[in-house]
Structure 1
Amino acid sequence: MTLSIINLIYLLASVLFILGIKGLTHPRTAVRGNIMSALAMLLAVVVTLFDAQILSFEYILAGIVVGAAIGVLLAVRIEMTAMPQLVAVFNGLGGGASVLVAGAALVQATGAGASPSLQMSIATALSGIIGGVTFWGSLVAFSKLQRLMLENACSFPGQRVVNVLLLATAIGLGAVVAVSPENHMAYWAMVGAASILGVLLTVAIGGADMPVVIALLNSYSGLAASATGFVLQNNMLIISGSLVGASGIILTKIMCKAMNRSLANVLFGGALGPVEQQGETQDDIYAGNVKATSGDEIAMILDSAQRVAIVPGYGMAVAQAQHAVRDLMNLLEARGTDVEFAIHPVAGRMPGHMNVLLAEAEVPYDKLREMDAINPEMSQIDVAIVLGANDVVNPLAKTDPASPIAGMPIINVDECRTVVVIKRSLSPGFAKIPNPLFAADNALMYFEDGKKAAQNICEALKEA
């Protein structure tokens, strides 16, 4: 296969990748975009196999069979609520692959007695550093999401100084690799320093901030792949890695804006997480003001409602209540009620987590309203049902400049005529601060598991 044909097919694959990402920007075209991206990857892999000097196809075929089997098993058995964990693992595997491929290419290039170009040596160092941070950071993110370790932010005095020293060490060893590529031990020591840095950066971030972390690690995996493309002099890998890296950074920036965070804080770790509580205590706000309700009472309120907004949060995912919520939506619409879903950008554990869960339950795409689109209409909504959300509906973000979530955009459910909050208890969200919404004059608290609560309301509506 000639070089011109190879580059032409790589160009076609690149266009398909770009169109695939474009398709992912809207739920209606997401499936098509995913298929186009998969086709682009297939073309890239096939052409690379014909282009590269493959020593033995047996190992490659064995890897394809094992990988395909694992992929099919995951696709069939993975729960939609565990999708963030799967994404974290995918990010990590991408970073780990970049480390190993770049290291193998360095050993091969120097083993023949030749001296790699400066471009290849620098790219190898970058791939090792970024890939090491990505792999181990993603494993920590997975462990937090899977609750194999504490979700809370974990740090120690002087951790940021240690992080800076580790980064300086990794960069210094990377310079050694660039100048003396035959020094393989320097490469693996560099990867080791980057790996420890990845762990420390991620453990310092709390579980509720995982949407930002996952987006950032996704970007890192793309940058590592792009650097590996320069190592292998593979244009396709450079282009696809750059696309992932750029889109991941853009998504991270969007997530930071939605949480009123600084991108620099996320990059250096340790700035996200619970902040020491200030102002009124939970007892001061809730004492004598919280009004508990029941499924029957909520059914009576909904019976006369013309417009209802459901605000899902991570509690819906934990309770796996998406199907019960869908049934509630269908029941209300059958009675002539207009039902919409108000989606906060960082509700859940990854970008679009609520959208994925509701799509699995076959909730129509046009029912999902982004925060910025539905907020101006909140005063016109008769009933808002907050299901497992907390900080993303906390009015303190608007009223208390000293609050840990001050300035964070929220869904303004407090402006609705009636707010029904479904939670197991009055426990605070990740910010560890009370929520005045729970004690508002127009709010009712339904203390119940999300799935059971939705089912109870449906039964009460049927009996009404």
Structure 2
Amino acid sequence: MNMNLVTLLYLIASVCFIQALKGLSHPKNARRGNLFGMVGMALAILTTLALIAKQAPGAGSAWLLGALAIGGGLGALAAARIEMTKMPELVAAMHSLVGLAAVCIAYAVVAEPAAFMLSTTGVLPYGNRAELFIGACVGAITFSGSVIAFGKLSGKYRFRLFQGSPIVYAGQHRLNLMLALTMVGFGSLFLLSQNWLPFILMTVLAFALGVLLIIPIGGADMPVVVSMLNAYSGWAAAGIGFSLNNPMLIISGALVGSSGTILSYIMCRAMNRSFLNVLLGGVGNHPLSASHAKHIERPVKVASADDAAFMLANAESVVIVPGYGLAVARAQHALKELTSKLTAKGIQVRYAIHPVAGRMPGHMNVLLAEAEVPYEQVFEMDEINAEFGQTDVVLVLGANDIVNPAARNDPQSPISGMPILDAYRARAVIVNKRSMAAGYAGLDNELFYMNKTMMVFGDAKKVVEDIVKAVD
């Protein structure tokens, strides 16, 4: 295949990826964005297949087609079987594979430079060695870090490393710094000598560093971690793209890396976290003070599903705040039915989405889209916060920290300054939770104890279904 044609096709695929990101920025354009992404990836894969078929006909093409069939089949099977609540851990698993692929390619290039047309003598140029060093390190950190994130998100495994609570110990950050500096030292030795030993040791340290960077990050920061690892996987792909002289990998990797970094920063602001702290494994995180960590038993107003139905049916405006509890209960379809009933009665119903609700950016948007909730009913935090003061009833389903007024009213609170949904400003609030357990931040929620708030305890799906039955 003519290289000019290959470059043109890669450029078209890159434009498709850019259009995909643009489309995915809003739910109304998400389908079109996905379509652009699929077209771009298909074009990139087919172009690469044609290029390899020309350069390595026969066995090389057969191996590649076999790998594509196996990988594509496993990916399709996983996507078909995955539950919506498990989507964040699937994303983490995919990131780990991208990182591992970057490491494998780096080792292949070091082993056979001639096969990648980088050197006929076996000696790699210094620029390529630097690119391989960066790609392998970032890929290894992405792989091991994503494996830990997968385990923390899954919650199935008994290994201490996979527990949702942070793992912290004395000298943790000094150890991370020593490992990072040693890793860079071995990378420099590889850069100067192209010897295998420093390259292998550098990779081992990068794998270890990925684990140590993620274990001190608790479940509350997992949405940021998923986004951050997404950025890492993009930078790893871009680094390897330079080594392979592949513009497609460079452009797509840079797109993923930059967009993931920007998203991580936005999410850190939404969670009142320092971006640098999360990036470096929780440096500077402060434990809860005793006064904030202690749970104080206080009376709350407990109501039934019938009480909630009466309030909702007699309201003029309702705002629904979905949280992870909604996802766990898979209550989105029952909620859509409730919304339809209320809308039919002439009640204005809207959904308020916090940037970090759930376990992944856009988690709640995906759940509502699965239930075919109209896009015009779904509003982001900045769009709807000013409307809570004129809202009759707010229905909070499985959300906690994102509606805690302590973020606004208590300067001493660990979440002080964190942007929240102003549900507490509504005339009445209905909160559905399984229990009075604290959220990821480990704090009591002042909203639950307000006179205007009613607590309806139970599984979100069962509660919403009972409310649907009780609405006249």
Query: What's the TM-score, normalizing by structure 2?
Result: 0.94
**Which residue is equivalent to 1:119?**
127
Q: What is the rounded CA distance, in whole Å, between the counterparts of 1:166 and 1:15 in structure 2?
A: 39
**Which residue is equivalent to 1:336?**
346
**Which residue is equivalent to 1:258?**
270
CA drift of 1:287 comes to 2.1
State whether structure 2 residue 326 is matched by structure 1 residue 326: no
**Which residue is equivalent to 2:61?**
57
Instruction: Specify the code of the residue in structure 2 equivalent to 1:141.
Output: A
Instruction: Specify the code of the residue in structure 2 equivalent to 1:210.
Output: M
CA deviation digits over 1:301-320, x for unaligned, max 9? 11210110010111111111
Indicate if the aligned counterparts of 2:353 and 2:381 stay in contact, CA closer than 8 A. Answer: yes
Instruction: Please state whether the residue corresponding to 1:56 is helix, strand or coil.
Output: helix
CA deviation digits over 1:27-68, x for unaligned, max 9? 121122112122212222222233343362111111111112
Indicate if the aligned counterparts of 1:277 and 1:433 stay in contact, CA closer than 8 A. Answer: no
The 3 A distance-change label for structure 1 pair 32 and 280 is closer
Q: What is the rounded CA distance, in whole Å, between the counterparts of 1:283 and 1:29 in structure 2?
A: 44
Instruction: Specify the code of the residue in structure 2 equivalent to 1:267.
Output: L
CA drift of 1:110 comes to 7.7
State whether structure 2 residue 44 is matched by structure 1 residue 44: yes
Indicate if the aligned counterparts of 1:84 and 1:349 stay in contact, CA closer than 8 A. Answer: yes
Q: What is the rounded CA distance, in whole Å, between the counterparts of 2:224 and 2:413 in structure 1?
A: 20
Instruction: Please state whether the residue corresponding to 2:112 is helix, strand or coil.
Output: helix
Q: What is the rounded CA distance, in whole Å, between the counterparts of 1:130 and 1:406 in structure 2?
A: 34
Q: What is the rounded CA distance, in whole Å, between the counterparts of 1:274 and 1:428 in structure 2?
A: 18
Q: Which moved more, 1:437-446 or 1:22-31?
A: 22-31
CA drift of 1:20 comes to 1.3
Pairing partner for 2:471 from 453, 461, 464? 461
**Which residue is equivalent to 1:374?**
384
Instruction: Please state whether the residue corresponding to 1:219 is helix, strand or coil.
Output: helix
CA drift of 1:109 comes to 1.6
State whether structure 2 residue 23 is matched by structure 1 residue 23: yes
The 3 A distance-change label for structure 1 pair 459 and 134 is same
**Which residue is equivalent to 1:440?**
450
Note the residue ranges of structure 2 that are not aligned, 5 or more in a row.
none
Pairing partner for 1:300 from 285, 306, 310? 310
Q: What is the rounded CA distance, in whole Å, between the counterparts of 1:89 and 1:41 in structure 2?
A: 19
Instruction: Specify the code of the residue in structure 1 equivalent to 2:102.
Output: S
Question: Residues 15-414 of structure 1 correspond to what in structure 2 (within 5 A)?
Answer: 15-52=15-52, 53-54=55-56, 56-109=60-113, 113-147=121-155, 148=157, 149-181=162-194, 183-271=195-283, 275-279=287-291, 284=296, 286-288=297-299, 290-414=300-424
Instruction: Please state whether the residue corresponding to 2:346 is helix, strand or coil.
Output: coil
Instruction: Specify the code of the residue in structure 1 equivalent to 2:374.
Output: P
Instruction: Please state whether the residue corresponding to 1:279 is helix, strand or coil.
Output: helix
Q: What is the rounded CA distance, in whole Å, between the counterparts of 2:338 and 2:62 in structure 1?
A: 54
Instruction: Please state whether the residue corresponding to 2:394 is helix, strand or coil.
Output: strand
CA deviation digits over 1:70-109, x for unaligned, max 9? 1221121111111101111111111110010011111102
CA drift of 1:326 comes to 1.1
- Number of residue pairs matched? 459
Q: What is the rounded CA distance, in whole Å, between the counterparts of 1:221 and 1:83 in structure 2?
A: 18
Q: What is the rounded CA distance, in whole Å, between the counterparts of 2:225 and 2:284 in structure 1?
A: 10
Indicate if the aligned counterparts of 1:278 and 1:402 stay in contact, CA closer than 8 A. Answer: no
Indicate if the aligned counterparts of 1:387 and 1:422 stay in contact, CA closer than 8 A. Answer: yes
Indicate if the aligned counterparts of 2:292 and 2:413 stay in contact, CA closer than 8 A. Answer: no
CA drift of 1:271 comes to 4.4
Indicate if the aligned counterparts of 1:110 and 1:116 stay in contact, CA closer than 8 A. Answer: no
CA drift of 1:113 comes to 4.0
Instruction: Specify the code of the residue in structure 1 equivalent to 2:310.
Output: M
Q: What is the rounded CA distance, in whole Å, between the counterparts of 1:279 and 1:443 in structure 2?
A: 23
Note the residue ranges of structure 1 that are not aligned, 5 or more in a row.
none
Q: What is the rounded CA distance, in whole Å, between the counterparts of 2:284 and 2:342 in structure 1?
A: 39
Q: What is the rounded CA distance, in whole Å, between the counterparts of 2:99 and 2:239 in structure 1?
A: 11
Q: What is the rounded CA distance, in whole Å, between the counterparts of 1:398 and 1:434 in structure 2?
A: 14
Q: Which moved more, 1:105-114 or 1:448-457?
A: 105-114
Q: Which runs of 4+ in 1 moved over 3 A?
A: 110-113, 271-274, 277-284
Query: What's the TM-score, normalizing by structure 1?
Result: 0.96
CA drift of 1:273 comes to 7.1
CA RMSD between the two structures: 1.6
Indicate if the aligned counterparts of 1:375 and 1:412 stay in contact, CA closer than 8 A. Answer: yes
Q: What is the rounded CA distance, in whole Å, between the counterparts of 1:275 and 1:227 in structure 2?
A: 37
Q: What is the rounded CA distance, in whole Å, between the counterparts of 1:274 and 1:389 in structure 2?
A: 23
Indicate if the aligned counterparts of 2:173 and 2:283 stay in contact, CA closer than 8 A. Answer: no
Instruction: Specify the code of the residue in structure 1 equivalent to 2:124.
Output: P
Q: What is the rounded CA distance, in whole Å, between the counterparts of 2:66 and 2:6 in structure 1?
A: 25
Instruction: Please state whether the residue corresponding to 1:115 is helix, strand or coil.
Output: coil
**Which residue is equivalent to 2:431?**
421
CA deviation digits over 1:180-209, x for unaligned, max 9? 12x122212111101111111111111221
Q: What is the rounded CA distance, in whole Å, between the counterparts of 1:273 and 1:332 in structure 2?
A: 44
Indicate if the aligned counterparts of 1:313 and 1:354 stay in contact, CA closer than 8 A. Answer: yes
Indicate if the aligned counterparts of 1:206 and 1:272 stay in contact, CA closer than 8 A. Answer: no
